[in-house]
Amino acid sequence: MKSDLNVRSTWGLARDNINCLKPCVHGGTVWEVRKNASLTREEIVDFSSNVNPLGSSQKALEAIRNNLEQIPIYPDSTSVSLREAIADSFKEISLNNVLVGNGSTELIYLFAEAFLEKGKVALIPAPTFGEYENAVRKTGGKPRHIKLCQDFYIESNVFTRDMKDAKIAFLCNPNNPTSILTSYDNFQGT
C-alpha cells in the first residue's frame, strides 16, 4: 500500500500564498491558433505579447555565435562587465545600483522577495502586468490596486497618496497592457 506522501501532490505541501497563485498568461494562444488553422510560423504576426515581430537582433545573434565556446563555462555570477556597461551608459548611477536578471519577470520577483515582508502592502496600478500581483502574493504581501483613470493614465496625486502606507509600489512604464507612457513630469511636485 502506498503512503499518502507518495500519491499526494506536492502542491499540497506548498505554503498557502504559493497555492493561491494564478498563472499569469503572457500573450494569446498563438501556437494553438497556428496549429488549428494549419498556418506556418511565418504566416502569423503576434501582437499579443511584447516580442519583436522582426525577430532577434543581428548584433545579438552575432555576439552569441562569437561566444559559443563559452557555453561550458559558468558565467560571471555578478555580471560585472554588463553592470559596468549599464552604469557607464547612465552616468548618474553606480555599478552597485545595477541589478541584472533573466528578463524583467525575474527582476520583479527578486524585487518583491528582497523588499516586501509578509503582510506588507504593495501598490499596483490596474490594469497592469499580472506578474506584479503574483510576485507580491508569493512573498505573502498584500497587493493593493489603484484604478487607472478613464484614459488609462496614472493620476500622480492618487498614486503618491496611496503610496504613503505601502512598503513598495510598482509602476510599469510604458504600462502593459495599455501602452500608456507616464511622463516623469507627471510626478514632479507631488
User: Is the model's pLDDT at 156 over the cut of 50?
Assistant: yes
* Residue 108 DSSP code: H
Does domain 101-190 match CATH 3.40.50.920?
no
Residues 6+ apart with CB under 8 A from 175: 125, 127, 128, 129, 148, 152, 154, 181, 182
DSSP secondary structure letter of residue 181: P
- pLDDT tens digit string along 101-152? 988 899 999 999 999 999 999 999 999 998 999 999 999 999 999 999 888 9
* Res 1: pLDDT: 46
- For the chain, state the CA radius of gyration: 21
DSSP per-residue string spanning 126-142: ES--THHHHHHHHHT-E
Read off the pLDDT of residues 42-101 as tens digits, 9 standing for 90 and up: 787 776 676 777 888 999 999 999 999 998 999 888 999 999 999 999 888 899 999 999
- With contact defined as beta carbons under 8 Å apart, do 129 and 27 qualify? no
Q: What are phi and psi of 124, to 5 degrees?
A: -135, 120
Mean pLDDT of 2-29: 69
Model pTM score: 0.73
3-state SS string for 20-45 = CCCCCCCCCCHHHHHHHCCCCHHHCC
The domain locations on the chain are: 1-73, 101-190
